[in-house]
Amino acid sequence: MIQVLLSAVLSMPVLAEEPKPAAPVETPKLEAPAKIAETPKAEAPKAETPKAETPKIETPKVEAPKVEAPKVEIPKAEAPKTEPVAAAPAPKPVKAKVLTECAACLTPLIDGYKGVLADLEKWTAEVDAQTAAAEESFQKLQKGISDNEVAITKAKLEGGKANKERVKELNKQNKTLWSELEAARKAKAALCKQFGRDASQKVREYNASIQEKLKESQSRMQ
């Protein structure tokens, strides 16, 4: 029996010894290479543009040279010595030109015309005095009408009951004044017409006087 077992054991194939698993090889931990020192970013230097300061130019104060006006001494004007002026000699009377004998014969006619002119000037002054009152009255009435017309226009523009009554009153006044003005105009015209007739009479008288002077001059020329 034992032999049988031994035979059996011997006949059994020798089992190769299973290799023991190799001890795990510890792979050395590769440490990450040390962080390379970060190169600091080169920051471009901020170029600060220097503020251009406008140079303060101090204008030197130029002091105007004091120009002293030269003292001009005005010579005192001495009043001219006035010497007593000799009295002007009295004008010598101008001798009238002696007319010829024939020309002297016309003297009466010249005197006649001089007399006419003198009388005509005197009479004209009388006419002026006598017509002054009529002229003054006429102009006064004209002014009164004109003043009322201005007042009427103003009252109409202003309006109102009071002004309406005033317009009526002024129109009434003007109606009277127009009548008086017409009467004054006729009186003035009549007076002037009368002096016109008087002037005709004056001229006839003057002509008669001159005719007499003419005859006198002609008689001397015979």
**Per-residue DSSP letter, 98:** P
What is the pLDDT, as a whole number, of residue 130? 93
pLDDT for 89 equals 76
Interaxial angle between packed helices 107-158 and 161-220, expressed in degrees from 0 to 180 and rounded to the nearest 10: 170
Residue 36: the pLDDT is 43
* pLDDT at site 144: 96
Q: What is the pLDDT of residue 30?
A: 45
Look at residue 95 in the predicted model and tell me its pLDDT. 76
Q: Give the tokens for residue 160.
A: 């109102």
Six-digit token pair at 113? 């015309």
The model's pTM: 0.50
- pLDDT tens string, the chain, 222 residues long: the values are 555 555 554 555 544 444 444 444 454 454 444 444 454 454 544 555 545 555 555 555 555 556 565 565 665 666 666 666 667 777 777 777 888 999 999 999 999 999 999 999 999 999 999 999 999 999 999 999 999 999 999 999 988 889 899 999 999 999 999 999 999 999 999 999 999 999 999 999 999 999 999 999 999 998
| Single-letter amino acid code for the residue at 99 | L
Q: Which of 205, 211, 210 is nearest to 113 (CA)?
A: 210
What does the pLDDT read at residue 206?
96
Both tokens assigned to 65: 């040279």
Looking at residue 32, its pLDDT comes to 46
Cα separation, 180 vs 144, whole angstroms:
11
pLDDT confidence of residue 23? 47
For residue 115, give the nearest of 210, 201, 208, 204 by alpha carbon. Answer: 210
